[in-house]
Amino acid sequence: MTASPPEPLRHADPATTFLGLELGADGAPTVLPVVPGLCTPFGRLYGGSGLAACVLSAEAATGRPIVWITTQYVDNAVPGERVELTTEVVVAGRATSQTHVHGTVDGRTVLHATAAHTDRPIGARTWWGTMPAISPPEQCTPMEIELAGRPMPYCFVNRMDRVVPPEQPALVEQGRAAVWVKLPEWPIGSAASQGFAADIVPMAMAMALGRPPGGTSLDNTVRIVAAEPTDDWVLLDIECEGFNRSIGIGRVRLWRRDGTLIGVGTQSCIMRTSHQTRAR
């Protein structure tokens, strides 16, 4: 049994509505209220939520869309706290900007991000590699997450539709995974939505290692190829690349159903044996 979702916050833009983000004006910080629907099942701010909020704060400061962002997670934020995001525009060129975003809770650093933006005109687009041959979402089964000894609370998982293909067991043996994902409240395409959806390497790493879920993101990076939003399913093509000293690293490629590559994410994470409340 899961907890009931909180009442939705009302905003004009789908992205800020989804996150409940309070965009700053006239240099004021952007504020991300931490609520259960933006947290992990373990009651901590989900990395994808933090990354998405950093994207929107930086884009609001520059007026330019992000093409690359990396976010480093320094400390946890929990429901009831408010993350203040301050954006510094360190480069403002004719078509390209670079920004730093600093996220704090009551003066305590929680995360920080570095990003690059551009408003260059859209031109020829290509990519290399092809989407893996995976069963379509209509032939998949819902993705279930089992937490040893505890019920699944209301969390970011409830904000997503995620299904896994019948090919998954064979993929896991190779350190890979595939998940079709859709955000009913927020079409996937923008840097913020891709960052929210793509924070899945810890889950794939746990599957590859044969462990229950329990990863903590150290960093999260997304690079945007195509930012056009889609209401359809997006395939997360995940590859675990290495594991040592309890640290896993991997990447995820995001594909539209028609085989268009829309983005690439990379991530490193601490793979934990438990999520007890303690110092990191």
CA neighbours closer than 13 Å in the CB half-sphere of residue 52: 31
How many CB atoms are located within 10 Å of the residue 86 CB?
Answer: 17
- State yes or no: pLDDT of 279 exceeds 50: no
- State yes or no: pLDDT of 229 exceeds 80: yes
Rounded CA gap, 140 and 148, in Å? 24
Mean pLDDT to the nearest integer, 21-44: 91
Rounded CA gap, 76 and 66, in Å? 25
Q: What's the whole-model pTM score?
A: 0.90
* Tens-digit pLDDT profile for residues 53-85: 999 999 999 999 999 999 999 999 999 999 999
